[in-house]
Structures are given as C-alpha cells and as structure tokens.
Amino acid sequence: MKSFVIIFIFLNLSLDLIGQYDQDTQVKVYLNLILSDPAKAETVMREAVNQTEEKDQMHWVYQNKLAEANYYLDKYDEAKDRLNQVIEVSHERGYDAILAEAYFLLGDLHIYTGEYATAIDNLSKSLEIYKKLDHRKGIAEVYNSFGLINMDQENFKKAEGNFKSSLEYGDAISQGDSYTYLGQLYLRMGAFDDAFDYAQKALKIAEENKDSYLLAMNFDVFGGYHLHKKEYEKAIEFLNKSLSLKMELEDFQGQAMTLNRLAKAFNETGEHQKAFYTYRRAFIFATEIGVKEEVKESSKALSRYYASKLNYDSAYFYQSFYIDVVESLSSERAAKKMAELEAAAEKKQKEAEIAKAEMEKEQSRLIAEQEKRNSYYSYGGLILSLVFGIFIFNRFRVSQKQKRIIEEQKKQSDELKNIAEQQKELVEEKNKEILDSINYAKRIQTAILPPDALIKKNLPESFVLYLPKDIVAGDFYWMEAYAKALASEGILIAAADCTGHGVPGAMVSVVCNNGLNRAVREFGLIDPGQILDKTREIVIEEFQKSEEEVKDGMDIALVSLEQQQEAGDSVTHNSCTKLSYAGAHNPLWVIRKGSDEISEIKANKQPIGKYAQPEPFTTHTLELEKGDQVYLFSDGYADQFGGDRGKKMKSSNFKKYLLEIKDEDILDQKFLLQTQFEKWRGEFEQLDDVCVIGIRI
C-alpha cells in the first residue's frame, strides 16, 4: 500500500470530481472498494470501460478511475499511459472536468515517483482548467499538491503559501487536509506551537468525518509536539494511536516513521529495551519498502545501541546501512535537481520543435494552395509567393533563433554540470587529502600515548576512558615508570587537556607531551610539582620560538604512585601506597574504601603555559590503603551538554555517578561511565574531548 498522503489526495479529489456522476452505480461500487480491495476496484472499472464506447463521456470518467486503481496496484506505466490517453481525447472533445482530473492524477503520480518537474507541469495545467471552471475544491487540492512538493524539497516558505492558498478555496474536507499539512510543515520547521494549533483544527474535522487517514497524520503531529515538550507519556499515547490506524490502513511507510518517533520516546523514558525493539521494527519496515529517510534514522539508533553493548559487529552492520543511505539520499537530491533542469531545457526544445513542425505543415499547405491557384492567377500567385517567402523567411529566422537559444542553454547547462562535477571531484580530492593527513596525525598521536599493555602491566586495576571529539584530540594521557632505589619504584600517570580540540589541540598536545618526557627523562624529576614547573618552562620556551605570541597551554592532573615491594611486582600489590599529586586547574578525586564521599585535592589555578602571575606548583602527598580509588580527568566529561534540559552535567552529577558505581569492577566502571555519558549527551553534539583515568589500589 502506498504512502497515505498521496492516496489521500487522490481519494479526496476523486470523491469531489465525480460528484456530477454520483448516481452512477459502477462509480459508487468503485469508491467503496478502492481502499479495502483495490484489485477488485480495478476489475469493476475495467468492466465499466469495456461496457462503454469511446464516444461516450462516461467511458473517459471510467478510464480516469481505472488509471487511479492501476496506481494503487503499482502499475505506474499503465496508469500513465491511460491518463495520457484520457488527456488527449478530453482535450479534443472539450471534456474540461475530466481533463483537469486526468492532469491532476498524472501530476500526483509523478510526485510519488519523484519526477517533480513533470508533476509541476501537469498540476499547472490542471490548475488553469479548474480556475476556468471555478472549481474551488479542485483548485484547493492542486495547491495542496504544490505544497507537498515544496515541503519535500524543504522550500518551507513556498509550501506554507501553497497550503494557505488551498485554505482560501477548499471546503471543510479539503481544509482538513490543508490544516494537517500545515501541522506537519510547522513540525519540520520547529514551529511546534503553530503545528499543535493547526493539528487541533484538522483533528476536529477528521473526527467529524471519521477520517482515519487524517486522524493518523495529526496524531503523529501531536506525538512530535509532545516529544519536543519532553512530555513523553503523552507523546507515546498519541504515537500509539497513530500506529494502530496506520496498521489498519496497511501504510508501512507511515508505520516506519511513527515507530522511529515512538522508539525515541521510549529511550527518553529509560525503556531502552523497548526502544531497541521498536527501532528494529522501523528498520525492517523501512528497508522492505525502501523508505530511506526512515532507514537512516533507525539504522543510526541501532548502531549506537549495539556499540553501547560493545557488540561492534552489529554496530558496524547498522552503521554501514546508515552511511550508504546518507550517500544515496545526497546523490538522489543532486540527481533530482539536475533532472529538473534537464526537463525544463527539454520542454523548451520540444516547444521549439513543435513550432517548427507547425511552420513546416503550414508551409506545405500554403505551397499546395499556391500551386492550385497558379493555374488561374499567375500574377496574383507571384505576389502571394513573394509574401509567403517573406513569411517563411521570418519564421525560419525565428526558428533558427529559438534553436540557437535552446542549444546555448543546453550548452550552458552542460558546462555548469561539468563545472559542478569538477568542483565536486576537487572538493572530494581535497577532503581526502585533509582526511588522510588527519588520520596520519592520529597515528602519530596514538604513538605517543602509553600502550594499553604498559598501563595494565603497571596498574592492573585501572582503566582509561578516552573519547576524542574529533579524529585527533587535545586531551591525552601519559605514563612514565621510574626507579627511586634498588627496592623502590614508582609510576607517574597524568590526564591532560590542551587548549582546543581536533588538529590544533593535537598539535599543542605533542609539545606538552614532549615537555613531560623531558622533565622526567632529561632532568630526572619525579616530584609532580617540580615536573609541572619544568614542563611549564619547556612549553613556554618552545612557543617563544614563534614570531607570533602563543598563549596555548595545558591543564593537567599528575599523580605519582610509589611503594616498597618485592622485585617484579607492580605498584598495586602491597597494602599501602604513597600518592603524590600536583595539578594545573584539574583536581584529583579520591574515594576511600567503604566511604560514600569523594575527597577532592584541589589543583593550582594556573595552566601549563603563559600566565600573568605564575607560582610553583604544589605537590600534595597522602597514604592510600588497598581498595581506595583515585580518579584523574579532563573537563570534557562534566562540561557535556545534555540531559532532560540540555544543560551541562557539571562536577556534582559526575561525582554522584562515580559514587553509584564505586563498588563495580574497575573495568565495568569504564563501560558504565561511557554509557552514562552517551545517555546524558543524547542528541547533543559532543562538546569536547573526554579523558578519565580510574585506579583502584
């Protein structure tokens, strides 16, 4: 079954246009069957066509109905051929009402197949006839169709004008259509209060007429409105109503759209498993009937769901669907635009060819008449020949001029197409070069990060949650082992946040990482405060080499873990550990075993970089027992926007969640923190790089 928006237009206009034939038994039977059993409706109309002669006007009324039934049964070519035949005969015989309906049906058929230029041409002809007949309902429905075209092409202002023009001409039923479309339009534009108001007007008309199509569409608008208002229970109620009606109507495209919205509402209420199953139903419907917009939304959601469950094979499967459909939609929009330009050029060329053919026909007729008259009026014939020659010459000049204009337009169109293709190739090539460079930069940045195996060897009860905003990041983590004496060794570990993110942040991170390495390896420092002092000197010295003033730098939390131990053991194997900490803006959080509070050791309020009044960094020291936990982090996690109100998470909520998961296995904490971050973020873009390090002693 087709999308009910187009079917709805077909049916409403059919009911109105055949009002003058409402006593016809076969038409009545057809209207009662077309929605419930289109195949049987087609049989009824085919018999009606066969039982009437082509000279009868009713024969062509039946042909229009039969073409409409063909459309319902996916017989597009047959429907188009039949409607073109109706148009040809009705034009010759002056069947204006039938002709207007045929143009309208053909136009809406081309809307469904995406041939908008042809659709607009047919709808314009239909509108001209309806205005001539003062057929207000027909005028209203044509404006609605123009509005649907413009809404699909995101020409929202034009669509708004079309639907409001329809309101001026339509009766109560067609006004219900227009109110519904305006509700859908304003929902897409983000004018949610206007969408709600128009949907209420449409709903009243739909309830009075017991119109299931109209009810379903407006329940969708109410669902979208309440989603925006975060009134999720109301949204679920209306979307379920819409879904039930669409199931009765066998509108699979509509079901896919409603299921996607319903799944989003379930996610917002925390019913994630129900959301997963609902997105999967939407994906199945959408892929079966090829509705790419709904495939895009459902596949994106399913990919995220599986990634959150660490099921990366399934996540990749749905992500591949998402990427393919996004590329396909972009190509289709470009192809559709080019097709419209070509169709316009072809139309002008055909008009010129028709004019030329008419000229040649006229030329042949005049020559024949001239030859006949030459036998009687040789002198007069000579004069007529001269006049005719002048006329033909002028017509020929006009024809040649038109031909040159068309050829020039086609040439310009081809040139524009070639330029567009060249520009596209150039942009793609440049994008590839840039992306390749960034990916290579990522390899370099990854190389300076401590390997997972090294971290696990030295700190087996630990995790690093690292979520760059872009391919490369300004955040990084750092580790260095040192030996203090024969029976004593320690580990230095840090979570750092350099100015910016992406490529600029990554470049600063390389300089700052190098400063940390030199402070320890070249200058032999192991005290966190002294390391940060020396790193600041190195970073400032590096940036001073530039001719321009560079104020970039780094915030950091740096920890040293040290204890006496047996040879070969890691620093976490004894019961008591000495922790030393220094920080630039970024604090250290400690959760003691059995405690329900977080102890915060504050950092110095100055960066690693240029600062108006720099001071030596303070080293804080404390003893940790087995089971104590420490957390180092950048500001990206707590600064993320999201939640029900679209606000920052803030440190208070970050602390609260750490206390909730403190008794979980240390590796599970990483998964839970990432899941909570994605849940909080929701549809918001990631604001900054994220780096969180957790260590259990």
pLDDT in tens, 656-674: 999 999 998 888 898 889 8
pLDDT of residue 349: 56
pLDDT given at position 12: 52
- The predicted pLDDT at position 15 comes to 44
Q: What pLDDT is stored for residue 572 in this prediction?
A: 45
Average pLDDT of the chain to the nearest whole number: 82
- Cβ count within 10 A of residue 350: 11
At residue 87, the pLDDT reads 95
Instruction: State residue 316's pLDDT score.
Output: 81
CA distances from 142 to 100, 130, 255 (A): 10, 9, 26
316-337 confidence digits (pLDDT tens) = 888 887 887 776 665 555 555 5
Count of Cβ atoms closer than 10 Å to residue 224 Cβ: 26
3-state DSSP of 357-397: HHHHHHHHHHHHHHHHHHCCCHHHHHHHHHHHHHHHHHHHH
Question: Could you list the mean pLDDT of each consecutive 10-residue stretch along the chain, which spans 697 residues?
Answer: 47 48 76 78 92 92 90 84 94 92 90 82 93 92 91 88 92 87 92 93 89 89 93 93 86 86 92 89 81 84 86 80 72 51 53 61 65 56 61 68 73 70 71 70 81 88 91 90 70 90 78 93 94 94 73 90 60 68 96 94 93 93 94 94 87 94 88 88 87 95
pLDDT at 7: 47
Sheet holding 462-467, edge to edge: 462-467, 690-696, 629-633, 588-591, 599-601
Please give the pLDDT value at position 429.
73
Range 47-56, long-range pairs (CB < 8 A, 24+ positions): 54/89
What are the Cα distances from residue 272, in Å, to 228, 269, 302, 644? 19, 8, 11, 16
Q: How many helices (H) and strands (E) does the chain have?
A: 23, 12
The per-residue DSSP string of 471-514 comes to SS-SEEEEEEEEEEETTEEEEEEEEEEESSSHHHHHHHHHHHHH
Q: What does the pLDDT read at residue 102? A: 93
Between CA 353 and CA 403 the distance in angstroms is 9
Q: What is the pLDDT of residue 342?
A: 52
CA angle at 382 for the pair 380 and 387, rounded to the nearest 5°: 95
At 573 the pLDDT is 46
pTM assigned to the model: 0.47
